[in-house]
Amino acid sequence: MKSQLPHSLTRLFQWVLALKIFRGIGVLLPQLIILLNVGARFDLLFGFNRTDAGFSTLLFLLLLAPAITIIWFIVELIISIIVVKRQNSAISFLMPGLALFFFLQSLGIDIYMVLHFKM
């Protein structure tokens, strides 16, 4: 007979996996904007940056990156508060701090890109 995990443990694994994927997306989005900018500057995108699709992609990433990273920051804060309430221990600022770092990075990249748009 197969041994199955309890339903609550299976749900926990699903949440942990979803959170790890969400963290990965939150880390990669700001770097994708940087790569797109560097690729456009040195014409490594073979003219993609001069098309409407290239500009739309850049605008989409400029809006999506801060939104995803602020949601990640809020989720990490909630998880840290829940862990502190359950374990009666000191709050860990590692993951919320990492999420805040990437949020500030994405905001900085967005401000830099917006200031350098050629109208």
What count of Cα atoms within 13 Å lies in the side-chain half-sphere of residue 16? 6
pLDDT-derived band at 101 (thresholds 50, 70, 90) equals very high
* pLDDT score, position 52: 83
Average pLDDT over residues 34-50: 80
User: pTM of the full predicted structure?
Assistant: 0.79
CA distance 59 to 55: 6
Residue 95 burial (10 A CB sphere; 0-12, 13-18, 19+): middle
Give 43's DSSP letter: T
* pLDDT score, position 74: 94
Find, among 69, 63, 65, 60, the residue nearest to 100 by Cα: 69
CA distance 27 to 99: 8
Give 51's DSSP letter: S
